[in-house]
Structure 1
């Protein structure tokens, strides 16, 4: 198993390098031929075009199809995996006091890490705003995105309890509802004791089938998918989208990387007294996979496999913490939303002070908790924050539209931050409950 894990990590690393190199070559080719040239249009139609979008009806889009098939195959079992793994984890933790402690510790770690992430993002955003770095003009050539409406971030609380059990299991965007049902089911099974026997066996068998399916998909097709997804991302978005908001992209990237590498390492050291280097080394491929897929949900299977088999976390702990963190622990999303909100407000001419930064941080924390674990969700939720703060003049809408255009690379890194945070929380909880195999962790 260890050999297979290392082989997969090597394959993913090779796919990452090849994807980045091929992507940059595509950018150079795109710039040389010209976006509107017949030659590039033919290449784009054949390889990269989104066949589901307007204008893609007659396109082949080979890279798009391969990438979507891989992501769809992972998302196919997200709801059953979340439901069965959390339910079984609670069933295995029959001690109600112990389950309560694990819940408090998990949510406590999520809250503390989110606060630190928001403080870092607030400091960076305020520094850039004071320095005037965001005082740039957005040219009128940007297409305004219409049809986005703001909503109260607290609506996510109502979505936790579904009104229809079938709707909860049929919507990948309703993971919080699946978590609620899993917790409720697990607690009820514990309460009924021996009266419930065959249902637990059925859940275990479903969970085994899901894990077997995901292991096959990740091991056999993961490296290919990483290469395809990265290459298409570079080729489809090109270099022209990065020019108007270069400062936003660079500042957000540096902040995310700082928290990813330094922030989580400090949290591991402070909360567990463990050497963070094994964690960084082993979790690197999880971050890479999250970066490639830009989906916390799609990364969950590999994250769980790595956290349990290589970092020594008890499977019961990982099965409870990781799915919960997938929807509630969104440090990367919160950081991105804070800096993006400051960028939009500054560019649109709004005055930003410490109180505004604080309010942005609170809204980002609330909104990020309910962010769907899917590509592109963070930028959509950003509009909720902007609406709540009243940053909706014409220039703000133009800037927001620009963020939607350039935010793909940022959201890829955001996903890496989110999934690594879930793994770090699992290590802390397992260590505090004496359910961490430190010999495996230090290997």
Structure 2
């Protein structure tokens, strides 16, 4: 049922994408024809009806209203989404004293693959900027009225910003996402230590998290195709086809980076930490990656991932049963890679300069946002806005570029889901090998488990 719904959503988004390109291109040609033919008043009437920014101009601005409602809805749920998801993720690390080394190795393994992924993403993004693959939007060059430059913050100010002095103002500010993350981690660990006493509060948080997931589902599945049509049609009519084409460059670059990490990166991780033949791992885990690719769901892939790691890779069940569910919750390194590349692309197109300090802060935000990403469709794309706004890349063109990425990000979401679940399996293999809980005869097919 879930797969049918995902396929239906994909079809709806593809239809919205195709129709918006067709109608947007027709409006773009109409714009040029009317203005060139001395009929600017006719175009102004169309502009007022469909495209006008109703917060600054007169007119109905139908497509602008739809776009703004959708984006505001996404912004509205960012803080509660990050807070509840990360709090519950921290609480899921149960009984650290009992689990001991296994818990620390697991969390350390997840952090390690996060860092390696962010390094790859930062190098990729930097190469794209330096070689001109990611270029400044021509519309910005023509009109710099929306451009607001932000200076790179002092790295030490990040530490100060992580601990807020006012809870209310923190939760009312999407740009204070690091502080929200800090509060969520502290509350999650405290809830963990409270045990049964914390169950009432945990149940409330779970209910809020479920409510947020329903809201995200409505925004993406119900409003998403309509908003996609509105955003791309308006973008093409106002900015032209070149700006939409540039987003396809981001999609291709991100997919290539994800595939490199999925194959070469994880092979190096497995060999470097276990000295096992990484090609055996990649061959056996391939079907898990393909299943995740088709379902776009880490949660739906968990049973197959558990069966493959225990029956085919030789990992003991207690290791797999701890590492894989935890990984499904907090290990979203593919999402982090997408966040770093996507944020750099958005910043560059919108006219911001991205330096080394920015990439470091971006990676930190990406790791924190990804660790709080729930196992729901398109959550990674939604939380890309967390990193973008957290970095201060918030002019109109940045928001428009984000909207375009959200519209055509489905192929990236499919590949990064595969990356996430394979990453869970690689960390499980790493932990099992270090704990002596890996049957290498099963791994190398010298014997079979029932």
Deviations 1:294-334 (A, max 9, x none): xxxxxxxxxxxx33236778665344345996799523324
8 Å CA contact 2:254, 2:338 repeated in 1: no
For 2:112, the equivalent position in structure 1 comes to 108
Given the alignment of the two structures, is residue 94 of structure 1 paired with residue 98 of structure 2, yes or no?
A: no
1:319-378 Cα distance to aligned partner (Å, 9 max, x none): 4345996799523324666x779x999xxxxxxxxxxxxxx7523412434589439948
Report the equivalent of 2:30. Answer: 29
| Contact 1:91-1:189 at 8 Å conserved across structures | yes
Equivalent-residue separation in structure 2 for 1:29 and 1:73 (angstroms): 32
* Counterpart residue number, 2:69: 69
C-alpha change, 1:124 and 1:319, in structure 2 (3 Å) is closer
Change (3 A) 1:60 1:110: same
Distance verdict in 2 for CA 1:200–1:329, change over 3 Å: same
Establish whether residue 307 from structure 1 lines up as the match of residue 298 from structure 2: yes
CA contact (8 A) 2:174 2:390 kept: no
Write the deviation string for residues 94-141 of structure 1: whole angstroms up to 9, x where unpaired: 043555444433333332223223333444555569xxx99xx99996
> Cα gap change, 1:158/1:204 in structure 2, threshold over 3 Å: closer, same or farther?
same
Structure 1 CA distance, aligned partners of 2:352 and 2:207? 49
Question: Residues 375 and 411 of structure 1 are in contact (CA less than 8 Å); yes or no, is this contact kept in structure 2?
Answer: no
Q: Which residue of 2 aligns with 1:84?
A: 84
Give the 3-state SS of the residue equivalent to 2:162 in structure 1.
coil
Q: How does 1:317-356 map to 2 (within 5 A)?
A: 317-322=327-332, 329-334=339-344
- Asked if the contact 2:84–2:184 (Cα under 8 Å) also holds between the matched residues in 1, the reply is yes
Aligned-partner Cα distance in 2 for 1:124–1:205: 42
- Helix, strand or coil: the match of 1:179? helix
Counterpart mapping for 1:378-389 below 5 A: none
Report the counterpart of residue 291 of structure 1 in structure 2: none
The offset of 1:59, in angstroms, is 1.7
Please tell me whether the aligned partners of residues 124 and 341 of structure 2 are also in contact (alpha carbons under 8 angstroms): no
Question: When the two structures are aligned, how many residues end up with a matched partner?
Answer: 362
Change (3 A) 1:109 1:411: farther
Structure 1 residues 11, 38: CA separation in 2 closer, same or farther (over 3 Å shift)?
same
In structure 2, the residue matched to 1:157 is: 159
Check whether the contact 1:264–1:424 (CA below 8 A) recurs between aligned residues: no
Normalising by structure 2, report the TM-score: 0.66
Distance 1:309 1:161 in 2: 36
Superposed CA deviations along residues 70-90 of structure 1, whole A, max 9, x for unmatched, are 222233222222212221222
Question: Cα–Cα, structure 1 residues 167 and 418, in superposed 2: closer, same or farther, change >3 Å?
Answer: farther
Candidates 250, 253, 256, aligned match of 1:259: 253
Maintained 8 Å contact 1:12/1:226: yes
**1:335 and 1:236, CA in 2 relative to 1: closer, same or farther beyond 3 A?**
closer
* Corresponding residue for residue 235 of structure 2: 233
Q: Does 1:51 align with 2:42?
A: no
What is the CA distance between 1:210 and its match in structure 2?
1.9
Distance 1:62 1:316, change over 3 A: farther
Contact 1:83/1:178 (CA < 8 Å) preserved in 2?
Answer: yes
Determine whether 1:366 maps to 2:360.
Answer: yes
Task: State the structure with more CA Rg.
Answer: 2
The TM-score, its normalising length taken from structure 1, stands at 0.66
Structure 2 regions of 5+ residues with no counterpart? 267-280, 306-323, 367-382, 430-450
Q: In the alignment, is the contact (CA less than 8 A) between 1:82 and 1:323 conserved in 2? A: no
- Mark the CA change 1:113 to 1:269 in structure 2 (over 3 Å): closer, same or farther: same
- 1:257-291 Cα distance to aligned partner (Å, 9 max, x none): 443222212212342724355555555xxxxxxxx
CA separation in 2, counterparts of 1:331 and 1:261?
Answer: 10
Task: Output one character per residue of 1:398-427: Cα deviation in whole Å (capped at 9) or x when no partner.
Answer: xxx9xx869954884499498678645632
How far residue 33 of structure 1 moved from its aligned partner, in angstroms, is 1.4
1:153 CA drift (Å)? 4.9
**Using the alignment, how far apart are the partners of 1:33 and 1:11 within structure 2?**
32
Matched with 1:290 is none
The partner residue of 2:177 within 175, 178, 182 is: 175
Cα pair distance change 1:113/1:412, threshold 3 Å: farther
| Structure 1: gaps spanning 5 or more residues | 284-305, 346-359, 384-400, 436-443
Who is 1:188 aligned against?
A: 190
